[in-house]
Structure 1
Amino acid sequence: MSGLALSSPPRCVLLCGYYGEHNLGDDALLEVLIRQLPEGWQPVITAFDSEAVREMVPNAAVINRRSLNSTLKSIREVEAVVLGGGSLLQDSTSFRSLIYYIIIILAARIRSKPVILWGQGLGPLKKSLSRFLVSRALNYASSITWRDVASMELAYRLKIKTPMTMAPDPVWTHQTTNHQGGGDIVLCWRPSKLLNENGWTLLLKALEQLCHRTGLSVTWLAFHALQDADLFQSLRGKGLISDNLAKKSTTIIANNIEQANDIFSDASLVIAMRLHALILAISSQCPTVGLSYDPKVEAAARTAGAAWSSLDNLPDLKILVSQWITSLSTAPSISRLDAIRNESHEHERMLKISLSNIQ
């Protein structure tokens, strides 16, 4: 018999999230989650575009996230299930999506597979039935880390007894490119029901004045390729974008997080509606301002001390332009970023503890 010790086979963990949907925010979450998995754990990832996910994680098995049957079958083959980042438990996008994740939690419970919620946001939960189902399902989880205070408070109101903690979004720990600056104004904007024609007109007038006063051009960075890529043309088609602004504008669909980080590195200012665009831009020490369509965006901006405005209560034109001009010369605090990153590693700590407790 050989004196060489045999290595243990890898243990499989199912990572459930909005992966492979061409949303760079969820790609960033997946990259962080993969990096935080303890040694010896093999990821099985639910995703729509399997090839895109395999480019990010070549050693991973990929399950079609849009097939509930395939996802449920995969639970049999793993030792744990992780709901990885984002606001998966909410009924604002659709009630069907909420039921999908509830079923996954319950199926794992039936098979005695631990369920870990990692870096999650909770809500909105508009329906009383949604709140009831979530309150029951989350008490079957092994551990939960929330990404913001509002989610933690909602969980307490729902009387969740599972061990829980809260820390800044995991993407704060994502590796970024050092800021160089001197480039375009970068927009990470998205369609929003909070903005009617008057709201878009205000933002675009402020943007045009900002360009005129600074001489800078504009990059429209589609952070969610399927939702954001046509925004410029849509607004242009409605006559909301002037010829002058159109001449200064370019739309870019980033292929991956690295390309987006390079764009943030060169930007003179990032104006972000997308949560993880805001986080990555600030993390790269780029001057950044938020436009909040959801409390999570406001919360992230507040955490970093960045300026922000709410889409449902925009200031007047003069105040908005002044805020953006001021933000141009306001780089994020390095010491504050270091503190945020240190706190954000709580998600990693709890993930490793939870997986190490599995026999």
Structure 2
Amino acid sequence: MRILIISADRTTVSGHPQNIGDAFLTDALSRALRHADNDVVIADFGSAVRVGSEETRMRVSGVKGLASLIRGVDAVVLGGGTLLQDDQPTRPFAGLPRLCLSAGLIARASGKRFVIFGVGVDPVRRRRMRLAIGATLRLARVWVRDSASQARAAALMPGTPGLSGDVSLFDYSPRGADDRASVVRTGVLLALNRREAGALTLGQVEALRQQWGAVHFVSMDQGDDSDGGSLAPEVATALGYAGRSQSWRTVSQTIASADVVIASRMHAMYMGVLTGVPVVAIAGFAKVDAFAADFHVETAATIEEATAKRGRVDGAAVEAAVRDLTAAETRMLAFLGGSR
């Protein structure tokens, strides 16, 4: 079966992903579907060809380009990330709600199976956007990422969608205690959103350095409004942050060698728990709070509070979530008529 994945993953002019988390989860979903004996292509609405991608991507421009791509596949999977949200609240009808509804309508008109799998659903206040997201949900067979998303989706559609977990969990590979012990640890890794990065101070960096020996920063968003771009110049200098774009694999390897991850970026936390690295989540963001509850990591209200914490990882919770995701994938593939 030939399957098209539509996600929020985009390639910047440098050939790197705009958002590390979106690239990470999109590739994980693509690999899982390929391993189930499907031919998979990812729609990329970005500006260039992805550097070093191991998954098949096709650049798409506009609704006509999307329609042409959908007509050439057997099924469409709207997959991963917080796709069901009002991401451009100052515009009447744009962004992700428009993309998702367009994909669903084209798939329906073309006679293609349409699935929404592993997505997050944010609170949506504008009536027009709620109607658009509700219409998209009605066009699809739906599995969402977490229980909070499940409740929000259920309020916009008939019935209750399935629960899958986050598709980045497809990247899980069991590692023994000996493997983890052999990793040379490199200190604390910060993966902060723009707000938290902008508030980071030299004093906080120094406090973390005294505790962990070294402090590193990764920018999970690499677009025009990157997380790293919000760092104060003196803080960026102290962290040795140069602003170079990276692949998700490079970021994942950096996180895997850390002593602890302190993050307000959810998929940096996923990279941490998937490689057995303790995590401290900066609370106060809906999807971060949901992650912390599901995976039992430590939380802190501020970076200041996080400097006193050691982090936590619950391997049993990760393994249980991977089993749930695999079971949901089996049900999705049965619906699509694919393998497994």
Q: TM-score range by the shorter chain?
A: 0.7 to 0.9
Structure 1 residues 61 and 267, CA, compared in 2 at 3 Å: closer, same or farther?
closer
2:218–2:228 Cα contact (<8 Å) kept: no
Aligned to 1:188: 191
2:38–2:338 Cα contact (<8 Å) kept: no
SS in 2 for 1:122: coil
1:181–1:268 Cα contact (<8 Å) kept: no
Deviation at 1:254, TM superposition (A): 6.1
Deviation at 1:294, TM superposition (A): 2.6
Deviation at 1:150, TM superposition (A): 1.0
Deviation at 1:144, TM superposition (A): 1.1
SS in 2 for 1:92: coil
Aligned to 1:158: 156
5 Å matches for 1:150-229?
150-161=148-159, 164-175=161-172, 179=180, 180-192=183-195, 200-201=199-200, 205-214=203-212, 216-226=213-223
Deviation at 1:67, TM superposition (A): 2.1
Higher strand share: 1
Deviation at 1:196, TM superposition (A): 9.9
Provide the identity percentage: 21
1:122–1:151 Cα contact (<8 Å) kept: yes
Structure 1 residues 254 and 264, CA, compared in 2 at 3 Å: closer, same or farther?
farther
Deviation at 1:288, TM superposition (A): 1.3
Out of 16, 20, 32, the residue aligned to residue 24 of structure 1 is: 20
Map Cα deviations across residues 199-222 of structure 1 (whole Å, 9 max, x no partner).
x15x654332122244x1211112
Structure 1's unaligned 5+ residue stretches are: 1-10
Aligned to 1:122: 121
Deviation at 1:166, TM superposition (A): 0.8
Given the two structures, how large is their TM-score scaled by the length of structure 2?
A: 0.83
Aligned to 1:274: 265
1:298 aligns with 2:289: yes
Aligned to 2:110: 111
Deviation at 1:181, TM superposition (A): 4.8
1:304–1:337 Cα contact (<8 Å) kept: yes
SS in 1 for 2:206: helix
CA distance in 2, matches of 1:336, 1:354: 27
Aligned to 2:324: 343
2:189–2:262 Cα contact (<8 Å) kept: yes
The one-letter amino acid of 1:264's match is: I
Aligned to 1:3: none
The one-letter amino acid of 1:219's match is: H
CA distance in 2, matches of 1:196, 1:16: 29
Out of 307, 312, 317, the residue aligned to residue 321 of structure 1 is: 307
1:15–1:44 Cα contact (<8 Å) kept: yes
Deviation at 1:300, TM superposition (A): 1.1
The one-letter amino acid of 2:149's match is: S
CA distance in 2, matches of 1:228, 1:305: 31
CA distance in 1, matches of 2:211, 2:197: 26
Aligned length: 321
Given the two structures, how large is their TM-score scaled by the length of structure 1?
A: 0.79
